[in-house]
Structures are given as structure tokens and as C-alpha cells.
């Protein structure tokens, strides 16, 4: 169905669709009819809220289908927060893995969880590339090492360092200078010899999250999706961690982009290594916020 349509035979005129529409495209007319505001149709970004909330499935928007784009609402249990708290409290970033491949069906479940991550606003921009062949990751590692060797040399050259600084931007350059470069300098000999793998941690699977550079607001969407992937992996008994050394390497190396079949014009924003944890942590770590500020009308409490 390609027309904007309210099925008047089934519509109960409850008005919930008009209430939830973020752009107020729908309205209840004379308390007897729900209509689209024709002059605002261009503002619809097809978030699906109106169709998802309609009790009689009476709203039809071009590009969305009740059959293919929606599923029955899942009700949470009374102790849903307790379950959620246990899940996030027990999760740790995992960088030590068993020498065991991850079945594709489990990786597919992680991808499905990533698919459920909400975008800032539609359309969806996040794309994923899943590498579930450990041998491919072993083949990719020397390319990444070569790139970081080149980076370390560039940072030692005053002129080249300015180009790196300009290309990376202030925040990334500070991270490079204060964290990444010292770490890689200390580990490079062991990386070259194969004694250790500081970059991919000998993970059996890797998920790259990327998007078209010309799309809007894609970075926040990808970071939200990455979090969904972490929690899904943990719920499946797997371990996962973001590896910030991987995306820049893929971004800067045409060889790696071709190897991982990253589409032209896409930016690789984040990565997630996945595998079976080699160790089980015996305790969690209490973490605080740098600050928490509570505001009410009469007071501001700084904790």
C-alpha cells in the first residue's frame, strides 16, 4: 500500500496516533475522524510510532507494512529491572578468549539485537560486517600492524605529526598522543613477533559497524547499536569488547577496506571482538560518575 491512509472503517478515533507522532502530522478532526495534515507529510521520517500504537492497525504509511515491519509488543515481567541490573552488573569487557569458533547462529542473534537498537531518527544508517572466520582475522592483523608502525613513525616527525593532528581532530589526537602511541610503542615488538595481539586479542569473530558518510547522525546510532551488541553477546554466554584500534586502521588502509569489503564512501565507526571468555570474573567493579547533579525547582544538589 503506497498511499497515506487511515482506514475509517476500522479506526476507533482513539487519538493515540496523533498524541505520539513527534511531528504532529496526524490530528483528530471534530472528534470523529483521524486525518493526516497534508502540508506536514514531508516531515514524516517513518518512525512507525503511529502504526505501532494503533489498536486496530488502521494507519498505513508508504514504505511501512504491518506484516513485514512490525511485531507484537513484548510485555516485560514484573522483575524486568532486576533481570536487567543483573545482566549489566555481571558484564565485563572481555579480551581473552578460548580457542573456539563462535557459531554463526549466535552471531546472528547479536546482529538481530543490533537491528533492534533505536536510531536517533530514521532512516536506519547502521550497517554491519561480520567476520566469523578466525583465519581471516589472522590475515588482517599484519596489515593493521603495518599501519600502526607507520603512524608511530609519523608521530615522531614534527611535520608529519601536524598532518596527523589535523586529520585526527583534537580529541582523537589527544587520545593518540597520550594513550594509543605509548601503548603501541611498548607492545610493537611483541606484535611483530606474534607473541601477542594487542589489536584484535586473537578473537575468533569481529563485527564492524559502519555507515555512509553522507547519512545524518550516524555516529550516535552506531554507538547505541554497539551497546545492544555487547549486552546480547553477554546474554548468550559470550564475551565482547570494543576495540578502538581497529576502526582507524580499516579507515586509513585501502587494503583493509578491500579485505573487509567495506563499501565505498562508508566510515567504519566502531568494532566489536567476540568469543567465548577464557576466564570468568569473580567480582564486579563499582564505578562512579564524574558528577551527578539533581535539579528541582527549589534546589540543586551536587553529588
Contacts of 118 (CB under 8 A, 6+ apart): 224
Tell me what pLDDT residue 303 has: 54
> Residue 301: CB partners within 8 Å, gap ≥ 6?
293, 294
Instruction: Tell me the HSE value of 93 on the side-chain side, using a 13 A CA sphere.
Output: 11
What is the residue-level pLDDT of the chain in tens, covering all 303 positions?
468 999 999 999 999 999 999 999 999 999 999 999 999 999 998 999 999 999 999 999 999 999 999 999 988 888 899 999 999 999 999 999 999 999 999 999 999 999 999 988 878 899 999 999 999 999 999 999 999 999 999 999 999 989 888 888 888 889 988 988 999 999 999 999 999 999 999 999 999 999 999 999 999 999 999 999 999 999 999 999 999 999 999 999 999 999 999 999 999 999 999 999 999 999 999 888 899 998 988 765 555
Q: Are 262 and 156 in contact (CB under 8 A)?
A: no
CA distance 140 to 215: 28
- Kindly report the three-state secondary structure assignment for every residue of 51-105: HHHCCCCCEECCCCCHHHHCCCCCCCCCCHHHHHHHHHHHCCCCCCECCCCCCHH
Report pLDDT for 78: 84
* Angle of helix 218-235 versus helix 80-90 axis, rounded to 10: 90
pTM: 0.89
Give Rg (Cα) of the chain. 24
Report the pLDDT value the prediction gives residue 230, as an integer from 0 to 100. Answer: 97
Biggest distance spanned by C-alpha atoms of the chain: 77
Residue that is written with C-alpha cell 551527578 in the block: 292
The whole-number pLDDT of residue 1 equals 45
Closest CA to 134 of 276, 293, 303: 276
pLDDT at residue 122, rounded to an integer? 79
Q: Are 128 and 111 in contact (CB under 8 A)?
A: yes
Q: Taking a C-beta distance cutoff of 8 angstroms, is the pair 277, 96 a contact? A: yes
Amino acid at each position: 500500500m503506497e498511499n497515506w491512509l487511515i482506514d475509517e472503517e476500522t479506526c476507533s478515533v482513539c487519538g493515540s496516533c496523533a498524541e505520539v507522532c513527534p511531528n504532529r502530522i496526524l490530528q483528530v478532526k471534530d472528534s470523529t475522524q483521524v486525518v493526516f495534515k497534508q502540508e506536514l507529510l514531508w516531515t514524516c521520517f517513518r518512525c512507525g510510532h503511529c502504526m505501532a500504537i494503533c489498536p486496530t492497525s488502521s494507519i498505513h504509511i508508504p514504505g511501512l507494512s504491518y506484516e513485514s515491519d512490525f511485531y507484537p509488543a513484548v510485555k516485560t515481567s514484573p522483575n524486568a529491572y532486576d533481570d536487567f541490573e543483573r545482566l549489566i552488573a555481571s558484564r565485563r569487557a572481555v579480551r581473552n578468549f578460548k580457542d573456539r569458533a563462535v557459531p554463526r547462529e549466535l552471531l546472528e542473534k547479536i546482529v538481530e539485537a543490533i537491528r533492534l537498537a533505536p536510531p536517533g531518527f530514521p532512516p536506519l544508517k547502521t550497517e554491519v560486517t561480520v567476520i566469523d572466520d578466525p583465519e581471516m582475522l589472522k590475515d588482517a592483523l599484519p596489515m593493521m600492524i603495518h599501519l600502526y608502525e607507520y603512524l608511530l613513525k609519523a608521530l615522531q616527525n614534527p611535520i608529519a605529526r601536524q598532518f596527523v593532528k589535523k586529520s585526527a581532530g583534537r580529541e582523537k589526537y589527544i587520545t593518540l598522543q597520550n594513550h594509543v602511541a605509548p601503548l603501541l610503542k611498548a607492545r610493537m615488538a611483541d606484535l611483530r613477533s606474534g607473541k601477542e595481539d594487542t589489536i584484535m586479542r586473537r578473537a575468533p569473530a569481529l563485527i564492524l559497524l559502519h555507515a555512509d558518510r553522507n547519512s545524518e547522525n550516524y555516529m550516535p546510532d552506531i554507538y547505541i547499536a554497539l551497546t545492544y551488541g555487547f549486552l546480547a553477546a553477554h546474554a548468550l554466554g559470550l564475551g565482547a569488547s570494543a576495540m578502538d584500534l581497529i576502526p582507524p586502521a580499516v579507515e586509513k588502509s585501502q587494503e583493509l577496506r578491500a579485505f573487509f569489503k567495506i563499501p565505498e564512501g562508508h566510515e567504519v565507526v566502531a568494532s566489536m571482538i567476540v568469543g567465548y571468555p577464557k576466564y570468568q570474573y569473580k567480582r564486579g567493579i563499582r564505578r562512579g560518575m564524574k558528577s551527578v547533579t539533581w535539579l528541582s525547582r527549589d534546589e540543586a544538589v551536587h553529588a
